[in-house]
Amino acid sequence: MATYNGEKYIHQQTESILDQLNTDDELIISDDGSTDHTISILESFNDPRIKIHYNRGSKGPNMNFQNAIQKAKGDYIFLADQDDIWFSNKISTMVSYLERYDVAVCDCNIVDNDLNMIKPSFFEHQNSGAGFFKNLRRNTYMGNSMAFKRGVIRLALPFPANIPNHDLWLGVVSDLFYKPFFIHKILGQHRRHDSNASNTFDVKIETSFWQKVNKRILVFRALPRLFLKRLFS
């Protein structure tokens, strides 16, 4: 989804996911018009579990993630950025929690483009945890660390227009209508660099007071339709 000097990590990242998948699982790729060699690298795996789709709708991270989620067929849906390395026990650990909860969020290391440590724990840095008002004030749901049952997309999709980011919205829906759980275990590495699509965690970006207010306004504007959808579903 983003072009940056990180193609050398795509193979490592893909392997870290495929090594944990069963034969009937799938790794869905939604391409939003990339101009690097990501697709050719993925095709070189020649693995039938890799499903490549192209985002034909509106561009941008939110709609690209929506496109990927809509293509998913499994009972459990995991989100991944192009910037991640999954630890070998990530899927098995999170699935064990999804048997009891609707949404699971794991902790991760935050590293730079060369995998040097920035923060050892996203949870500690963000004071992560469930709660509608808590996460509206400061979002602690990060997409690359989230997994959820298929039923969650019944309310979460389609993403409202102009919503700040997909992981915040998934967190809002989870806190209001589902049962989320934050797993205090490091299950992966998330790379931060200048071309990240998400700014959920970014030590470089300072959000102004009015930008924060505007984010909350956009969320509240989307809530009436969400509650109506819940009421009539």
| Residue 20 domain boundaries | 7-232
* Selection from 2-16, 50-64, 136-150, 205-219 with the highest mean pLDDT: 136-150
CATH of residue 195's domain is 3.90.550.10
Within a domain: residue 52?
Answer: yes
Q: Quick: pLDDT tens for 142-176.
A: 999 999 999 999 999 999 988 999 999 999 999 99
pLDDT at 182 over 70: yes
**Mean pLDDT confidence for 82-91:** 91
- What's residue 82's pLDDT? 76
Within a domain: residue 161?
Answer: yes
**Mean pLDDT confidence for 62-87:** 93
Q: What's the total number of domains in the chain? A: 1
Within a domain: residue 2?
Answer: no
Q: How does DSSP assign 108-173, residue by residue? A: EEEE-TT--EEES-HHHHHT----HHHHHHS----GGGEEEEGGGHHHH-SPPTT-S-HHHHHHHH
pLDDT at 2 over 50: no
* β-bridge partners, 85: 189
- What's residue 7's pLDDT? 67
